């Protein structure tokens, strides 16, 4: 398996488990596993995916994933954590959509980018019922990223 495919499998698995834990009560115990997968996906995006690390959107997405994982693993908390994470997610999603002209052919990537934007919005304003939609998008993005390799 190529390093790029391995990166998509780890990212896809992270998204699937995150979506499932949001939809099915009792799966919240997957927090540590998803944290490890988030850090792994972020590092793999930066290190193993050729040509991607120079793209600012992917770099911000990788930093977001690493931060999510480390915050969960190390139980880091600070006053502006929610706002900072929301901004990282939203900026990454917007930059990725703007800077990827060939996105039309890959729905998994598009859903991942939308997921980042929705995470950003939900971190900054209350969107109520959109939490369930976010979990479904998360699940779909993960499955499609793995299937579309």
The confidence score (pLDDT) of residue 14 equals 93
Residue 133 CA, distance from chain mean position: 15
Burial 87-112 (b: 16+ CB within 10 A, else e): bbbbbbbbbbbeebeeeeeeebbbbb
Please write the tens of the pLDDT for every residue from 112-129: 999 999 988 888 887 777
The confidence score (pLDDT) of residue 78 equals 87
* Domain layout of the chain by residue ranges: 3-147
Please write the tens of the pLDDT for every residue from 43-98: 998 887 666 655 788 889 999 999 999 998 999 888 888 999 999 999 999 988 88
The confidence score (pLDDT) of residue 104 equals 61
Please write the tens of the pLDDT for every residue from 21-31: 888 877 777 88
Distances from the Cα of 98 to the Cα of 31, 67, 77, 94, angstroms: 31, 23, 31, 6
Topology adopted by domain 3-147:
1.25.40
């Amino acid at each position: 398996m190529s390093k790029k495919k391995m990166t998509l499998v780890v990212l896809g698995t992270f998204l699937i488990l995150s979506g499932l834990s949001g939809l099915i009560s009792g799966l919240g115990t997957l927090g540590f596993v998803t944290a490890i997968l988030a850090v792994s996906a972020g590092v793999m995006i930066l290190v193993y995916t050729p040509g991607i690390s120079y793209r600012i959107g992917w770099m911000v997405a990788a930093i977001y994933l690493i931060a999510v994982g480390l915050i969960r693993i190390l139980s880091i908390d600070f006053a502006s954590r929610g706002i900072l994470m929301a901004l990282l997610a939203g900026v990454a999603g917007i930059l990725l959509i703007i800077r990827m002209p060939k996105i039309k052919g890959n729905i998994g990537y598009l859903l991942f980018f939308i997921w980042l934007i929705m995470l950003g919005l939900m971190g900054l304003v209350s969107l109520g019922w959109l939490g369930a939609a976010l979990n479904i998008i998360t699940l779909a993005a993960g499955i499609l990223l793995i299937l579309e390799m």
